[in-house]
Amino acid sequence: MNRLYKTLIYDKQVSLSVLDTTGIAQDARDIHRLAPAAAKTLAELLTCGTYMAGCLKSPKGAVSITVKAGENSGSVSVSGDVDLHMRGYIDGSAEGRLCGGFMTVVKDDGFFRPFTGACELVSDDVSKNMEHYFDISEQIPTKVRVAAKFDGEKCVAAGGIVMQLLPGASPNTAAAVEKKAALIGDVAADIAALGAEGVVKKYFAGETEGTYSYITEPQYKCNCSRSKISALLATMGRAELEDIIKEQGEVSVHCHYCNTAYKFGSEDIEKLFK
Ligand SMILES: [Zn+2]
């Protein structure tokens, strides 16, 4: 099940997003054959990415989050677009840990140039790092509670709750959001038991009644294709590609996001330059 539920709460001073990303988390685990700890970290970052993709407005909007963690830790990268097609990968050596290092966010929302923000990692916890990112880089008070739970190869549940203060939100509203965030317990358990709409009812029944809301279905979907890879190869030039064919017998390009290998033989390379 995948769901993104969005609405405004507290007199339209706060945007609320509730996500069920269990299906995305399961797809990510299966595509990359991850151990539970790494699958959990990737799923939680994919949930944050899905939230950000849900805030995009341009029909060509896209967002990516890259985490380059420090020593004895690894790297994670997730990206998605305005259609909520999400993808990601995690460095196998990471074992899900996010100690040290940096997080970078690139948002392309149809403006002249993409917005890039970055912050230091402050915790092993994905939610705390995201809150820190919004605080430092975008200067928007945001409460992030994302979680994923795996039982061996199976994702029991993944999802999250994000509350973001809109410009002009009153101090009383900020205090109410703090209080509400403190009430939120185990989000993965809540999603498993209630689903996204059930979570909205459990925590926000009083604030969402009569407000406009919408629900979309994000999914794990890579945007790579043989024709895109072909176009990329063509920019390398014929001589270099022919050298690779001579040495390795073929040109092989691997998409990290969906674990697909694209193979090109000498005839394919010839066609590229016709
Ligand atoms: Zn791909």
Ligand 1 centroid–CA 57 distance in Å is 24
Which residue, chain included where needed, has tokens 């230091």? 120
pLDDT tens, residue by residue, 149-172:
999 999 999 999 999 999 999 999
Q: How far is the CA of 10 from the centre of ligand 1 (A)?
A: 40
pLDDT of residue 213: 87
- Report CA(13)–ligand 1 centroid distance (Å): 38
Q: How far is the CA of 31 from the centre of ligand 1 (A)?
A: 10
Instruction: Look at residue 96 and tell me whether its pLDDT is greater than 70.
Output: no
Instruction: Give the residue, 226 or 110, on which the prediction is more confident.
Output: 226
Q: Report residue 126 as tokens.
A: 């994905």
Burial of 25: CB neighbours in 10 Å, binned 0-12, 13-18, 19+: buried
Pick from 213, 196, 142, 186: nearest CA to 19: 196
Distance from Cα 165 to the centre of ligand 1, integer Å: 35
**CA 5 – ligand 1 centroid, Å:** 27
Least confident of 78-82, 106-110, 209-213: 209-213
CA of 262 to the centre of ligand 1 (A): 10
Ligand 1 midpoint to CA 160 (Å): 25
What fold does the segment set 226-272 form as a domain?
CBS domain Like (3.90.1280)
Give the residue extent of every domain in the chain: 2-220, 226-272
- Measured in Å, residue 229 CA sits from the centre of ligand 1 at 10
Centroid of ligand 1 to alpha carbon of 257 (angstroms) = 5
Determine the Cα–Cα distance for residues 211 and 240; give it in Å rounded to an integer: 59
Amino acid at 184: I
Q: Quote the ligand 1 centre to 198 CA distance (angstroms).
A: 33
Q: How many A from CA of 67 to the centre of ligand 1?
A: 19
Long-range contact list for 136-145, CB < 8 A, 24+ apart?
Answer: 137/105, 140/164, 140/165, 141/165, 141/169, 141/174, 141/177, 143/177, 143/178, 143/180, 143/181, 144/48, 144/51, 145/181, 145/184, 145/187
Q: Report how far ligand 1's centroid is from the alpha carbon of 254 (Å).
A: 8
Secondary structure element (H or E) that encloses residue 216, with its range: strand 213-216
- Joined tokens for residue 35: 């151990």
| Cβ atoms < 10 Å from Cβ of 121 | 22
Amino acid 249: pLDDT: 93
Q: Which of 150, 153, 219, 158 is nearest to 187 (CA)?
A: 158
pLDDT tens column, 121-139: 998 899 999 999 999 999 9
* Global pTM value: 0.93
Quote the ligand 1 centre to 42 CA distance (angstroms).
16
* Residues 167, 168, 173: CA angle, nearest 5 degrees: 105
Q: How would residue 92 be classed by pLDDT, with cut points 50, 70 and 90?
A: low
Please state which CATH class domain 2-220 belongs to: alpha beta
- pLDDT grade, residue 14 (50/70/90)? very high
> What confidence tier does 112 reach under pLDDT thresholds 50, 70, 90?
confident
Q: With bands split at pLDDT 50, 70 and 90, how would you rate the model's confidence at 97? A: confident
CA 151, CA 65: separation in Å to the nearest integer? 26
Query: pLDDT-derived band of residue 111, with 50, 70 and 90 as boundaries?
Result: confident
Across the range 184-189, mean pLDDT stands at 96
Q: How long, in residues, is the chain?
A: 274
Give 252 Cα–ligand 1 centroid separation in angstroms. Answer: 13
- Residues 20-48: what's their mean pLDDT? 96
Distance 255 CA to ligand 1 centre (A): 5
User: In the predicted model, what is the mean pLDDT of the chain?
Assistant: 93
d(CA 126, CA 141): 16
